[in-house]
Structure 1
């Protein structure tokens, strides 16, 4: 698989999976977590700039890219955001990092906020791109949002129904998602090497299953854990910066910034001109918000 220019890729074994991880730069550690249906290459338009200030660490989440893709379990815990957040903690331990800044997009952002809630001492500053919390997103569903976010229910259907449907034309399925979730309505935002990697993983039956399992967890285990967290009154302690696309999914929820203020005390953020894939569609907006936000805390890990 291609690596972002200037980055080195290594395979790092953890307790039950091996993650493929790209790294570059020096300074305060900054972990970047990708979303669906992508992998760590989605950070290519912004990662080299961030590596001028930070030690940038980009794992492929379990089930994605070149990382391991274990089979799901009946309770949908294997791809729960709690389990995937533990992967990040295990990775930090392997790298000798007591704490780090964390920036996530889409599914990676769900891992990021669960990491901040479950392991508050490990997250210094938290960046979120293009989501609202899982329980809130489900609660916000109406006809418009359900039509736009149809994949949430499709991918969560019992195996192997969505796996078979996607496997019949994986490239056509992937390209449809990338086009329809982008403001341009085409594939122009995606670098050729990154697009090729997204297509390759979508053609792998084990990764199709893993991505469906990711959404099965979102409809069950992740939603339950969110509701339990909120009922317990737990909040995100880390300062939080939030960016969403004017034409993405959170914009359809009404007040996405207000939703995050229900979960964290120190929240800042703004919308930008973009569809869902903000790092590739509007990298300047990502750098403008998050580079100074993370640079405000450049102390040792």
Structure 2
């Protein structure tokens, strides 16, 4: 197969932990031709989506890890599979990219995750579709509603809807210290919608990333455990990643949600679970492949490429 990865610049990859790198290496080892391009490399002319794509070869060196052939303007429909791995921010540029990838689908390529499904599943707001598994949650830009929510629940978390890696997350305790300033900052004085959730004390045991591939959960999560007094477990915020078997509740959530999301075109999903509560549904570029494989021995990248091959074969 010809597999293309829409990703950020390859030079920015940290190969010891990058999930996209693990996907690429696995695909290459199976004999698939691996290509890469960035969102800025895409174009549409005469209704045809193309990209300046480079075929990638692998050196085996963890630092100087790839060689890129000269980029060639390629009809995106020529690829058997396109794997969407561009990181957020999920801004209008990201959305424009999904429209271009939809044209690629019309031209014959299989795109994972499905572009329209990515657009339809805000990584924060999607949990509202599965509220039976969540902590009490409010989404609003209205200060009065946020203050009422805090008064009811006492200890809460406030966060932007478009953040990643733990950016912009605040904890407000029952004394409501700095609540007004936090609301003003996050909502930009009422102009921007944010999320409030009742604080889940089990964050001390980790913010678990559960990977769901083709509707089935990987049997190990990566618990991202806050360090040094942090409330955030995100690896980007200094959290410690510890692979551990899924709990009965983890399986319950993943098995209930996974098939529904897969049927919508989401081949790979990262569910974030704290304690017994679902907190996010990650669909843009879910990570933690390598950490789970290294610590638990489960072949996550191989499982994912199996799923891509099966989806392409199914037509």
Q: TM-score, normalised by structure 1?
A: 0.34
Q: Whose helix fraction is larger, Structure 1's or Structure 2's?
A: 1
**Which structure: larger Rg?**
2
Q: TM-score, normalised by structure 2?
A: 0.33
Q: Whose strand fraction is larger, Structure 1's or Structure 2's?
A: 2
